[in-house]
Each structure stands twice: as structure tokens, then as C-alpha cells.
Structure 1
Amino acid sequence: MVVVMKRALSRAAAAGAAAVLAVSLTAQPASAADTWRKVDLPFLWPTARLYKMEAVASDQVWIAGRQGYICWQPVPLVPCVVHSHGNPVVRRWDGARWREYPLLGWNDQGAIWQLAAGGGETWIYGGFDWKYLAKFNGWAFEPASPPAGENVIALRGGPAGVWAVTHKSGAESLYRRANGSWTRAELPAALRYVNDVEARTPTDVWAVGQTQPGRGVGGVREVPAIAHWDGSSWTSIPAHTESGSDARLLHVAPVGPGEVWAATARSLLHWNGTSWTEIPGPPGTAGIHDLITDDAGTPWVVTQRAPTPFGLFRYADGAWEEVELAPDSVVSGLAVVPGTGAMWAFGRTGSSPAVWRDS
């Protein structure tokens, strides 16, 4: 569930890229990797993994995950004989080093799966039973009640504050954190299931998902849906297609007023305010795992593909370019520091978690 925050930047560059319809499906040399460098992590127990990253400022880059996961199987494909869900990982980069903060009320095993920051607040969510929701108070994370007592399934943050996707009795809802409380969003009827919420400004927010809960269920045609929030109300936006296999919208990245990039499981999409342009994903794409735009408005995606678990690509000048940050590295997610264009990435090198920054 790796969700990461996408930030909007140059409209002109993004529009120029989307206008190119002759897409090259051959990955170009990874020259974009030349400016990336690894950021050393603090000590973590073995079998550690990072699942989320949130970049608020150059001295507020958060990561979340777990460490110390154990599953000893004397014979493959049998249940674990010795098993531990591990312990949570939450760290903040302060511009010079990683800082750790207490998780008050934590009495569980497992990971911190969700992390979001916006409107001056930072929230986390996780635990083996998915019940630990907490807000940062400046020195520690304090447990908090979920919106309307519902089950939180996703958190998103950005210039418009923190958003929570919840689930109860088979239905999903979207809540916005404002003035110290949660307010339920009145979404258009078509957007019943939300997969991503991203903001360019406090009055330019996009939410994507689908009408039906298909999410890859065999025989269920997926009906994509997208909506825009202007700071006071939501408006439905025409989707790229009515329905189809892998048609649901999974990710969104606003670029400028009325302009946005989005992604399905296998395609990148660009909305120019009036129509959609669809761009097939990089060769071998089995799923698009993350989407952001850089300071030039260029979209970057993390894809699932064989033989490696994930691949990092950017789409520029009508072609996909694969970016390898380091030998034996796998990128799981991306983040952009608002107002700076500085990009961060997280994943692993070999079997160890890793973080990189574009400097």
C-alpha cells in the first residue's frame, strides 16, 4: 500500500509531453539517474521494509515501514513455525539525520502502513490488526479516533491537508481533516471507491477511483471515476473510458489548473482540461505502483514487471526512460518536496531498505 505524495509543477512541460502521440516503447539510457545519491538510513533490525514516504519540506521527509519481521519455515510452502510480524518504523529526516519518535499507546506487532502530512499535521496508521491511528504532536505520535468510528484504509496528505479513506459495511467514504476534526466529503455519485487523492493547492484537489468495487475481480468490468475539489465542492470529471479491464484509476498527479496526470494499472493518462491522452506503460508493465511529477512537470512512475519486482521510469519527449538509481536497487515509491522540486525515492538495495534523493 504504498501510496507516496505527488506535487504539481510546470504546466507547459507536461502538456508538451502529453501532446506527443507517437510513443516510443523502448527504454532509453538512464541518464536521469546521474543526479541521485543514497541517503544512509539509521540502524534497523533485519528483514526491514519501507512502505510509505512523505516529503513535507527539506527538513521533514518521513518514512514508514517495519523491521524485525520473522517467518521461519522448515519446509517451503508450509506455515511459519517461528513467526513475528516485527516492529514499526517511523523516522523523519531533519535535513541532516534521521529522527525517531515515540509511538504512544502502541502495544502491537506489525508495520506502519500509511503515512500522510498536510495542514501542519502528520498522521500514521498501521499495526497487525490495522487499528493504530495516531497524530504527531511535535515530540511523539498520540493515538486518535478514526473518522466517524470507521475503519481507515488509506491516508493522503498535501497542500489541502490530510485525507482519510474509510470503509464500513461494504461502503467507502472520504474524510478531510480541517480545524482539528474530520469532515466527510460529498463526492459525486460515480466516485464510490477512492484509490488516490492528491492536491496541487488547497483549492485544487483531485480524487480518482471507480464506480464499482471490482478492483481486478474476474468478470467485473471496471468503471473509472475522477472528481475535482475547488476548496468548497466536488465536481465529476469525464473519465478516459466508460469501462473495461484494468480501467479503474489508481493514481493521480495534478500539474496545473485544470490539468492532471493519472494512471490505470497499465497506462499513463493526461487530462488537458477537455480531453484525455492515453499512453501505454513501459514495456512489460504488469501494474503501475506509483506516480508523481517532477519540477519540469515530467511524470515518473514505479511499475511492477518481470524479472525485477519494480522498475522506475520517467516519460519525457514522447518516450519512456528507465532510471536505475544504483546496482541491485529496487524503487518502491517516490515523493517530491513541495516548492523545491527535490525528489526522494525509497525501496531497497539487495535485501536492505534504502532511500535516495535527487540532488
Structure 2
Amino acid sequence: MAGVVAATAVVVPGGVAQAADGDEWRAIRPIVTLPERDLRDVEAVSATEVWIAGYQYSSASAYFPILQRWNGRNWRAYDPKGIGFEGRLYDLSAVGPNDVWVAGVREEDDETGLTETYLGHWDGSAWSMVDAPPANEAGGSVRRVAADGGGVWLADAGGRVSRWDGTSWTTHLDLGEPVYALESFASGDAWLRTESAVHHWDGTAWSQVALPEGALVYQVQITEQDGAWVPTPAGLLVWGNGSWQETPFPDGYQNRSVTGLSAGHWIRLGGGGEWSWLRWTGSGWFVADRASGASREVTADSAGRVWGVDGVSVAVPFDPQQTRLHSGKLIRYRDGEWETVSGLPRANYILRAIPGTDKTIGVGVDGITGDLKAITNG
């Protein structure tokens, strides 16, 4: 069922293009939140509009949303209409600077015991609440949102997938299990992934997409830049023209375990006590082949610089013995080596390219102190 595209593997060890004005990073600390918080999504719309969403809490039963915007100079916190200080935000989706959506939940209804779906919309000047489908007994509250020029897809915790056309909601699927990834593209296509299956919207109908042998559902990646793709022990599969197109890994990298994935066709392979990051560029393979370096995420900006996030752990006293807390740090791959970018706060950064530039922003929580951090070279 998979179409195979022959490809010549070109291994490029290091030799990354450099641009001096993007080498300097700085900390841009977000608005202070409560000591306990969970960052759920980062959406970069432009150099003057980067959104972060999540929630903060003071106890196990009192949650407050986090919604902040970086305008290129400073951060501003928003209280989206309709959620107040009683809920959690899980997902962001942006069509453009004047069309950003956020989805989450409000506190439980005292009568039904169900959390209420929350859906908010940014029109470039203010947030407004959009009426969402009511919660249902299968789990109800929204976990994923994907917006495009024609409307908005929502997926709730029970696997119900609905479409907003600007006037009304239509239920398209009722999968009976949570949706873990949902993306809608300008082309009119949409994709979603559950624990057991992958589904594709072709502009007319949803259909389940079978995976080739060796491909694992939980490793399927769905991004607007890349479409749907997944690794196998033999190579990279990318969906196109109604089938999976395969590009084999370079010689010596096949049949190794996949230990990590990152947007942009980055695949982390382990084996023999070492690992490598491989990226298919469209014409050849870029290989960062080292025994240490980015363990969590890696990205290449439009100037050719390769950035990653590596794990950091610290032993701390904890009765009756020590425990280890984990965070991350920004690193760069240059001249065949991974190097730490000095002078930056540590955090489990989510890296996003800033549209219209060759710059990057990172936002994350320091797993050791719990602080919310942000950095940029823009």
C-alpha cells in the first residue's frame, strides 16, 4: 500500500550555515504565574505575536488559565472572556495574526459533574468566547483545536470530533477514545491521531489511514509544515497523493530503534550505546551523529542553524533519600559537535520558528525550580 520513492542519501556532517545576528540569545521571562503550572502549547504567529497557553494552580482542585502574548518587546497576560479564573487551557491554533483560537475546559458543573468545554477566539484586538458543543458523558471537554480559513475542528476527551463553520457545529466522528493530535491545513486537509488509529479528512470525508508494517501509531507526527509522517526501522514515510511515500535511511542507520521525534522530519535513532539525529531535507539526509547532545527536541531555522534541547538533572534531598529533578538547556549543533548555549536559564523548552524571520523562540518550565522561562534570538 505504500508508494516507494527512490532517494539518494546525502549525509551532511556539520557545516551548518551561520548568521551572526541570530547567534545571540537572551532571556525574555514571561509574566509570573503561581508556583505550580503546566505549559501546554506555544504558537508563533509572527515576530510580534507569540502565544503561550496552559494553566496554573494552587491546589489539586483550583486551576487558573495561562494565556500570554509576546509582542517582540514584552509579555502581556490575558484573561480570555468566559473562563475567568476557573479553568485550564490545553491547545492553541492560529490561522493568522487576527485569527487565533484557544481551547480548554472550565470548572465542573455542580449538577452534571462534567467539565465544560471552553473555546476562545482572538480577532487581533480582543478575546471572545465562542459557544462550543456541550459536554457529553464520554469525557466531553475539549482537548484539541485546529483552525483553518474555512472553520474550526474540535476534538474532545471522549473522541467526538466536531466542525464549526462560523454559524453552527456539526459532529463528524465519535471515536470513543481521546484524540492526541489534531491539525487542519490551508489545503483543506485535516489529520488526527488517537491511541489506536490515524484518521484523514480529504475535504469531503474522514477515513482511517492504515499504517505500513513497522510504523507505530503513537509515532505518527502531524504538523502543518510537514503533513503526516512516521518513521519505520527502514526509513521515513510521508503521506502524499493518497499513499505513504518511503525514503530509506542512509546505509548504517537502518533497523535502529527510534528514540525521539521532532517537527521537520527529525528522527532520533539509538543503538549500540550511541544515537544520532537524522533529518530528511527533501533532497538528502542531514545527520548529527554524536554520542551526546539534544535528547528532547531539535529544529533547524531558515538560516541553517540547528538548535536542540538537552536534558539536565539535579539531585536534591527528599525524605528518606535523594531524588532527581529534570529540566533542559538550549544547545547548538555546529561543525560536527553539540555545544551548550551559555548564559540562558534552564527549562524544558518548546522551540518554535518565528514566521517571517530566521529566528527562534523557546518557552518552557524549569523542572527543577518550576519557573516559567522563555528565550529568543529574535
For the aligned pair, the TM-score class normalised by the smaller chain equals 0.5 to 0.7
- Unaligned stretches of 5+ in structure 1? 1-14, 23-30, 71-82, 211-222, 254-259
TM-score norm. by structure 1 comes to: 0.64
Aligned-pair CA distance for 1:299? 2.3
Aligned-pair CA distance for 1:276? 4.5
* Distance in structure 1 (CA, Å) of the matches to 2:339 and 2:296: 16
Aligned-pair CA distance for 1:99? 4.7
- Unaligned stretches of 5+ in structure 2? 1-8, 108-113, 134-153, 156-160, 162-172, 315-325
Q: Equivalent residues in 2 for 1:102-121 (5 A)?
A: 102=80, 104=82, 109=87, 111-118=88-95
Classify 1:251/1:239 alpha carbon distance in 2 versus 1 (closer, same or farther; 3 Å): farther
Aligned-pair CA distance for 1:335? 0.7
Classify 1:331/1:165 alpha carbon distance in 2 versus 1 (closer, same or farther; 3 Å): same
Aligned length: 294
* Distance in structure 1 (CA, Å) of the matches to 2:103 and 2:292: 34
Of 252, 255, 261 in structure 1, the residue corresponding to residue 263 of structure 2 is 252
Of 263, 268, 276 in structure 1, the residue corresponding to residue 268 of structure 2 is 263
Write the letter of the residue equivalent to 2:68. R
- 8 Å CA contact retained: 1:224, 1:249: no
Larger Rg: 2
Matched, 1:358 2:358: no
TM-score norm. by structure 2 comes to: 0.61
Write the letter of the residue equivalent to 2:221. D
Aligned-pair CA distance for 1:34? 6.3
Q: Which residue of 2 aligns with 1:330?
A: 347
Write the letter of the residue equivalent to 1:311. K
Higher strand share: 2
Measured against aligned partners, the alpha-carbon deviations of 1:41-94 in whole angstroms (never above 9, x if no partner) come to 234223234232111112321102221243xxxxxxxxxxxx336322122334
Of 300, 319, 336 in structure 2, the residue corresponding to residue 318 of structure 1 is 336
Q: Which residue of 2 aligns with 1:166?
A: 193
- 8 Å CA contact retained: 2:65, 2:85: no
Classify 1:49/1:188 alpha carbon distance in 2 versus 1 (closer, same or farther; 3 Å): closer
Measured against aligned partners, the alpha-carbon deviations of 1:25-54 in whole angstroms (never above 9, x if no partner) come to xxxxxx999622232423422323423211
More contact order relative to length (CA 8 Å, sep ≥ 6)? 1
Q: Percent identity among equivalent residues?
A: 21
* Distance in structure 1 (CA, Å) of the matches to 2:93 and 2:290: 27
Write the letter of the residue equivalent to 1:290. E
Aligned-pair CA distance for 1:162? 8.7
Write the letter of the residue equivalent to 1:340. T
* Distance in structure 1 (CA, Å) of the matches to 2:242 and 2:22: 40
- 8 Å CA contact retained: 2:181, 2:222: no
Classify 1:46/1:277 alpha carbon distance in 2 versus 1 (closer, same or farther; 3 Å): closer
Classify 1:298/1:36 alpha carbon distance in 2 versus 1 (closer, same or farther; 3 Å): closer
Classify 1:352/1:293 alpha carbon distance in 2 versus 1 (closer, same or farther; 3 Å): same
Aligned-pair CA distance for 1:205? 3.2
